[in-house]
């Protein structure tokens, strides 16, 4: 008798639970896995070269860019994607840091290459002689060592002041070329080595300033290793392409298989 009563009580309780579940709204709020995320920076952050720019105009913010991929996978409570093609450090200060608030929990940024003039470096190396290319890279490297640190400090100070509790991840630039690689046409090895040398200087300067602020640095050279232009396998960077401003930028695979997993590993 007692067993029968216990069984009836259990069935009654289970039925009530099922009824409660059935009464739950069909469109429950989405699960939030992360706090507010703000993505800042230049064309390497906006995804120029990876297509699918929506209504972002000249900023060329791609649906395939690493910030959007991270947001898709981690469902932040809010997402501000304000990186813009062509941005320099002053553009970040004037037009982007306003997206940061005290409750921001993650900030990513790629910046500095345009300050040092690497768009014009690539133009000069494509149109000029080996010596012209080497000289232009040396000029850019000197700027990166002497002038860029103060510009990065101005940006990084704003990041820390405006989002004091945020994790900040600084993503660096990759090598553009595999040296002595699988290219039969294009720039000479002398030019390719000079361009890669500039990427090394940028990484040295940027990682040093990021460390001074306690930020995490993601080395783009490591993230893209074996997939640069002239790699034997899949290449994650555009060579000269059209539109020309998308040349020497990460393609869809570069963001999906290069930058995104490197960011996911640390954020």
Q: What percent of the chain has pLDDT over 90?
A: 86
Residue pLDDT, tens place only, 127-178: 999 999 999 999 999 999 999 999 999 999 999 999 999 999 999 999 999 9
Q: Which domains does the chain have, with CATH numbers?
A: 36-266 (3.40.50.1110)
The burial class, CB within 10 Å (0-12 / 13-18 / 19+), for 34 is middle
Is pLDDT at 224 greater than 80 in this prediction? yes
Pick the more confident residue, 237 or 9: 237
Distance CA 100, CA 20 (A): 41
pLDDT given for residue 64 in this prediction: 98
H or E element: which one contains 253? helix 252-253
Distance CA 200, CA 172 (A): 10
pLDDT given for residue 19 in this prediction: 41
Residue pLDDT, tens place only, 184-213: 889 999 999 999 999 999 999 999 999 999
Is pLDDT at 66 greater than 50 in this prediction? yes
Distance CA 163, CA 155 (A): 12
CA atoms within 13 A on the CB side of 1: 0
Name the pLDDT band for 27 (thresholds 50, 70, 90): very low
Active site residue 227: no
Catalytic annotation, pick one of 175, 227, 249, 255: 249
Distance CA 245, CA 256 (A): 20
Distance CA 147, CA 105 (A): 30
Average model confidence (pLDDT) across the chain: 90
Is pLDDT at 2 greater than 60 in this prediction? no
> What separation in angstroms does the CA of 247 have from each of 26, 120, 156, 199, 240?
47, 12, 28, 16, 5
Catalytic annotation, pick one of 43, 62, 198, 247: 43
H or E element: which one contains 171? strand 167-171
pLDDT given for residue 33 in this prediction: 75
pLDDT given for residue 34 in this prediction: 79
Residue pLDDT, tens place only, 102-136: 999 999 999 999 999 999 999 999 999 999 999 99
pLDDT given for residue 31 in this prediction: 59
Those residues with Cβ within 8 angstroms of residue 200's Cβ, 6 or more apart along the chain or in another chain? 175, 221
- Global model pTM greater than 0.75: yes
Report the SS3 class of residue 172: coil
Report the SS3 class of residue 146: helix
Phi, psi of 255 (to 5 degrees): -75, -45
Active site residue 249: yes
Query: Which of 19-33, 93-107, 172-186 is predicted with the least confidence, judged by mean pLDDT?
Result: 19-33
């Amino acid at each position: 008798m007692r067993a029968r009563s216990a069984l009836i009580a259990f069935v009654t309780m289970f039925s009530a639970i099922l009824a409660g579940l059935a009464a739950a709204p069909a469109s429950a709020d989405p699960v939030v896995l992360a706090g507010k995320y703000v993505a800042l920076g230049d064309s390497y952050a906006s995804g120029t070269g990876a297509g699918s720019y929506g209504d972002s105009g000249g900023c060329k913010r791609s649906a395939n860019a690493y910030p959007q991929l991270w947001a898709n996978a981690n469902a932040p409570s809010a997402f501000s994607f304000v990186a813009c093609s062509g941005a320099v450090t002053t553009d970040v200060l004037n037009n982007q840091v306003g997206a940061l608030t005290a409750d921001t929990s993650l900030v990513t940024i790629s910046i500095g290459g345009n300050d040092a003039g690497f768009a014009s470096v690539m133009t000069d190396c494509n149109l000029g002689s080996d010596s012209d290319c080497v000289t232009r890279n040396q000029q850019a490297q000197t700027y990166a060592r002497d002038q860029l640190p103060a510009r990065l400090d101005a940006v990084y100070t704003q990041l820390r002041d405006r989002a004091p509790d945020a994790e900040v991840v600084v993503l660096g630039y990759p090598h553009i070329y595999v040296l002595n690689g699988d290219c039969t046409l294009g720039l000479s090895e002398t030019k390719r080595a000079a361009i890669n040398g500039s990427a090394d200087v940028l990484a040295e300067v940027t990682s040093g300033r990021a460390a001074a602020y306690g930020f995490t640095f993601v080395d783009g050279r490591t993230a893209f290793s074996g997939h640069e232009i002239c790699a034997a396998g899949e290449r994650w960077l555009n060579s000269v392409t059209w539109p020309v401003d998308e040349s020497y930028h990460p393609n869809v695979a570069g963001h999906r298989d290069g930058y995104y997993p490197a960011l996911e590993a640390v954020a």
